[in-house]
Amino acid sequence: MNQIETTLDRPAVSVTDVQTEALTVVMLGSGGSGVMTAAEILLRAAARAGYYGLMTKSFGPQIRGGEAAAFVTLSANPVEIQGDRVDLLFAIDWKNAQRFAGELQLEADSLVVSGEIDAELPEIVTGAGPRLAEINLKTLTRTHKGTRPNMVALGAVAGAIGLPRDVVAALVGQQLVKKGEAAMAQGQTAVDLGYGEAANFALAKLDRPAGDTARWIISGNQAAGYGAMRGGVRFAAAYPITPATEILEWLAPRLQKAGGLLVQAEDELASINMIVGGSFGGSAVLTATSGPGLALMSESIGLAVAAEIPMLVIDVMRGGPSTGIPTKSEQTDLNIAVYGLHGDAPHVVTAPNSIADCLFTAQWSTHLAESMQVPTIMLSDQSFGQALGIVEKPAELAFATRRLVAETPGENYKRYALTETGVSPMALPGTPGGQYTADGLEHAESGTPSSGVADHNQQLEKRLRKVVDFDYGDHWAQIEGDGPAAIITWGSTTGPVRQAMRRVDPDGRRLRLISLRLISPALPGALAEALDGSDKILVIEQSQMAQFFGHLKAQFDLPAMADLYARPGPQPFRAAEIAAKLEEWLS
């Protein structure tokens, strides 16, 4: 191990004894270096040691052999976003590492450890002039038979952070248990080699976690799938698409376990119609997709509005338009989700505000869909979906209302009867006397096609009323604080905003946060109430064209003085960026 000074002649900063609130570690490597596996073990070990954390991934476009970076942020306090800067970058190799420019914020006191000796460092490193160190992974793994570079790297990083060696070793053992005892022993050796090297690193130490509440390690995509199942979904049909596929792959075997089924469809047109069929038959259903898939589905989501078919459509948003940036997040499907259906087509659009909230919102969205017999689009996004978080164990919830079914349809059964709530009892196939033809054509109460003025007006009115008059309770938004300066945001921007608020307004006297979970229908009254007593409003979102702001302007009574901070992806929001914006805004 050579602790080398930077070529820029910077004096070494001793930070070993400094305590820090959060640490961000990046593990970098290419082609089979195994950084993702190592980083996941690191995250798991941190969770066992009582920390909160978040792991995100960044890849080159190659399916195999490409460059990859795992970002892990750890803290004694809840972590919703990556840290502003990278405290420790461990590169197993540097091949094409420059591609991560813009994601890797290194500073002078960041520590960069190169797994290669005398490597040519990329500009992202040399430009920042950080402290540098080297580990000769090649020699180490050669001299210790069967050890692998990523496990040595894991030991080095875990050791540098100060995670207990035994916790890491146990997890490495678990990982290798199928490969036999020899492999397990070699894994332990590798970890120990790494811990040995770490003794030479100087890195600020994380605050000790307080208490030990139950933790989960879960991704937004897993949480969304689990939430939907808790909501009663048992039938799904879908077509693979980044970054939603993990929802489907998580669901497929688990639905099977619950007696349900996931069908891989030939395309999104098929998947949406398969779930229309499944829901018509009586099942709670879902599909999951991303922007391009949602665009293909929109005609049939309109069918579900007209035929009053409940369904959950999860859109894990990615950078757009078109194929865009499939592996990066952007909050830019709001317009298509809210306004993308043809005709006057009232439906529900929701959005989770954290990884853990993906579970709640998916469950709630299923409940909304089933209760109102309406398609519900949940706008998750890549930054939730593909991030793995250490979160507090989510509470178990149950919603009472289920689909209103006509168990014994009488002589004059009318599928689309005008009722007080606008929700009409639905006869399920197999029920004698309930036969009707569900139709995308406008229809009379009986379901018979009709282009009459009265039928159109009545059916339009009932379909709007059932959605607008529904009691959404307090779930429509997450409201925190009651300061006079209100921030309105949604989805994955909530985390960075929350973190920035803690910095800018630690006592919570100046700011309040309103993060909308119910994007549509608009509840202008509820928002006005939440804004009561505020004298300043800032809307923050990740969209070039400020889709959320436009929606608030059009559908809510958003005061004219409201300010806007909107920018596109793919760069995720960081707390520092938002905090700086807030300082400027408040001054």
Partner 1 sequence: MSVETACALTARDYKSDLKPVWCPGCGDFSILMAITMAMAEVGRPPEDVAVISGIGCSSRVPAYTSCYGFHGVHGRALPLATGLKLSRPDLLVIATGGDGDGYSIGGNHFMHACRRNVDLTYIVMDNQVYGMTKGQPSPTTPPEWDSALVPGGTGLSPFHPLVIALAAGANFVARTFSGDPKGTAQTIVEAINHPGFSLIEILSPCVTFRPEEREWAKQVHPASVDPTDDRARAARRVLTDDGFNTGILYRGKRAPYQPAFNPDTSANVDFEAEFLP
Residues that bind partner 1 (CB under 8 A): 44, 47-48, 215-218, 222, 226, 229-230, 232, 234-235, 237, 254, 256-261, 263, 265-267, 269-271, 273-278, 280-285, 299-300, 302-303, 307, 390, 393, 427, 429-441, 447-449
Given the complex with partner 1, which of 396 and 507 has the nearer CB atom? 396
For residue 267, the minimal CB distance to partner 1 (Å) is 6
In the numeric block, the tokens 């914006």 are attached to: 581
Smallest distance, Å, CB 317 to partner 1? Answer: 24
Give SS3 for 417. coil
Least CB distance to partner 1 at residue 232 (A): 5
67-75/86-91 β-pairing: unpaired
Find the shortest distance in angstroms from Cβ 116 to partner 1.
32
The residue among 23 and 303 lying less far from partner 1, judged by its C-beta, is 303
Nearest Cα neighbor of 439 from 422, 464, 456 is 456
Closer residue to partner 1 (CB): 119 or 428: 428
- Quote the CA–CA distance of 336 and 346 in Å, as a whole number: 13
User: Would you say 231 or 481 has its CB closer to partner 1?
Assistant: 231
Q: Which tokens is 8 given? A: 């820029």
- Residue 396 CB contacts under 8 Å (≥ 6 apart), including other chains: 230
Which of 452, 559 has the CB closer to partner 1?
452
Say how far apart CA 532 and CA 482 lie, in whole Å: 9
Among all chains, which residue has been given the structure tokens 């979160």? 391
Q: Which two tokens stand for residue 500?
A: 């920035």
Picking from 208, 196, 149, 154, the residue whose alpha carbon sits closest to that of residue 44 is: 154
Q: Which is nearer to partner 1, 244 or 276 (by Cβ)?
A: 276
- 499 alpha carbon, distance to own chain's centre: 16
- Angle of helix 291-307 relative to helix 268-280, nearest 10 degrees, comes to 30
Report yes or no: 404 and 424 within 8 Å, Cβ to Cβ. Answer: yes
The least CB distance from residue 302 to partner 1, in Å, is 8
| R_g over Cα of the chain | 26
Least distance CB 501 / partner 1 (angstroms): 28
Pairing verdict, β 311-317 and 67-75: unpaired
CB of 311 to partner 1, least distance (A): 10
**Residue number, 225 or 570, with CB nearest to partner 1:** 225
Q: What would the 3-class secondary structure string for 115-134 be?
A: CCCCCCCCHHHHCCCCEEEE
The least distance separating partner 1 from the CB of residue 263, rounded to whole angstroms, comes to 6
Name the minimum Å distance from CB 304 to partner 1.
10
Which residues make beta-bridge pairs with 493? none
Task: Select 54 or 317, whichever has its Cβ closest to partner 1.
Answer: 54
Smallest gap from Cβ 250 to partner 1, in A, equals: 9
What's the gap between Cα 162 and its chain centre? Answer: 28
Cβ-based nearer residue to partner 1, 146 or 440: 440
* CB-CB contact of 551 with 519 (8 Å): yes
Residue 8 or residue 177: which is nearer to partner 1 going by CB?
Answer: 177
Query: For partner 1, which is the closer residue by CB, 291 or 394?
Result: 394
Quote the least distance from Cβ 100 to partner 1, whole Å: 27
Find the length of the chain. Answer: 587
Which residues are paired to 315 by β-bridges? Answer: 289, 379
Instruction: Work out the end-to-end distance of the chain between its first and last CA atoms, rounded to an integer number of angstroms.
Output: 49
Smaller CB separation from partner 1, 149 or 302: 302
Token duo for residue 99: 């591609």
β-pairing, 261-264 with 233-238? parallel
Q: How far apart are CA 61 and CA 242, in angstroms?
A: 12
Q: What is the C-alpha to C-alpha distance for residues 482 and 404, in angstroms, rounded to an integer? A: 39
What is the nearest approach in angstroms of partner 1 to the Cβ of residue 357? 15
Q: Is the dihedral of CA 201, 202, 204, 207 positive or negative?
A: positive
